[in-house]
Structure 1
Amino acid sequence: MKALIVEDKEHIRKALVHLLDLIGTDINVVGECESVKDAVIVANACKPELVFLDINLTDGTGFDFLEQTENFNFKVIFITAYEEFALKALKIGAVDYLLKPVDIDELKIALDKIAVLPIETQRKQINTAKKVLNSDSEILILSLQDSFQILELKDLMFCESDKGYTTFYLNNGKKYVASKSLKEFENKLTNSSFTRPHQSFIVNLKFIEKYDKSGTIHLKNGKKIPVSSRKKDNFVTRLFNWNTD
Structure 2
Amino acid sequence: MKNITAILVDDEDSNLKGLQKKIQSLFPEIQILGAYQKPEDAISALEKEAVNILFLDIQMPRINGFELLSKLKCINFQVIFVTAYSEYAIEAFKKSAIDYVLKPIDNNDLVIAVNKALDVVKLKHESASNLKLVNLLEASISKNNKIIIPTQKGISFIPQDEVFHLEGYEGYTKIHVITGETIISSYNLGKFEKLLSSKFFKCHKSHIINLEKVRHFENEGYVVLDNDYRVPISKTNKKAFLNLFN
TM-score, normalised relative to structure 2? 0.44
TM-score, normalised relative to structure 1? 0.44
